[in-house]
Amino acid sequence: MLYLKSLLFIPANMLVAFLLVFAIRALFFYPRKEVRIKGKKIPLTPGLVPRYHSLLVDKINDLVYGYLHDSETSGEDNRIDKWENQIYQKCLAWLETRIHAKYIPQKIIIGIQVFLAGIGREFAKQFMRTFIPYIIKTYKLTHYIDIFNEKFTIEFLQGYYDRYIYKYSLYLMLAIGLIIGIVNHLIYLIIGG
């Protein structure tokens, strides 16, 4: 009877391993939508992938379409304007440490530094406002972003997760559960229950 009782450790440990892997999968993918009971949101709903999937897609759209919008406009909230000013300030700070002359008046040196920093800003402006949008439009990256949004669904991600992660992690955890169950079985028999 003691031997039969100790055999229960093996399926129990394998069940725990299975439930752990299944719980991680459920945490990632289920539920797909937010669940509320009496108006209060239940924690960890929706699952991690559905919650952050829309966030990822929105960030990618904002990055590409927002960049294209910023490259065509100017203003206080424009990211490209801020980058151009940062480049100008960094060029100016770098040039202040590099350009020194004892016999040239300081006013002329400052003028040269401002002129060269302005060239750096203009180069960055042309690169960021002309070249990058040209590349985006030439290679139709916005079209690929739309295709990405259509194809990169939660079901697509779950299919890859199930095929490459869930299956092998389940096998691994079941093997670990089997080994731990056998060890528990032997220890229980040695101790004598």
Q: Is residue 6 in some structural domain?
A: yes
> For residue 96, how many other CB atoms are within 10 A of its CB?
13
Q: Is residue 63 in some structural domain?
A: yes
Q: What is the mean pLDDT of residues 109-114?
A: 89
Q: Is residue 25 in some structural domain?
A: yes
Q: Is residue 43 in some structural domain?
A: no
Name the more confident of 1 and 105: 105
Paired sense of beta strands 36-37 and 40-41, if any: antiparallel
Q: Is residue 40 in some structural domain?
A: no
What does the pLDDT look like over 79-101, one tens digit per residue? 888 889 999 999 999 988 887 77
What does the pLDDT look like over 160-169, one tens digit per residue? 899 999 999 9
Q: Is residue 152 in some structural domain?
A: yes
Domain that holds residue 146: 2-33+52-191
Most confidently predicted of 58-67, 99-108, 156-165: 156-165
Count of structural domains, the chain: 1
Taking 70 as the threshold, does the pLDDT of residue 193 lie above it? no
Could you tell me which residues are beta bridge partners of residue 41? 36
Q: Residue 37: enclosing H or E segment and its boundaries?
A: strand 36-37
Q: Is residue 44 in some structural domain?
A: no
Q: Is residue 42 in some structural domain?
A: no
Nearest CA to 129 out of 82, 88, 68, 87 is that of 68
SS3 99: coil
Most confidently predicted of 53-57, 97-101, 170-174: 170-174
Most confidently predicted of 52-56, 150-154, 174-178: 174-178
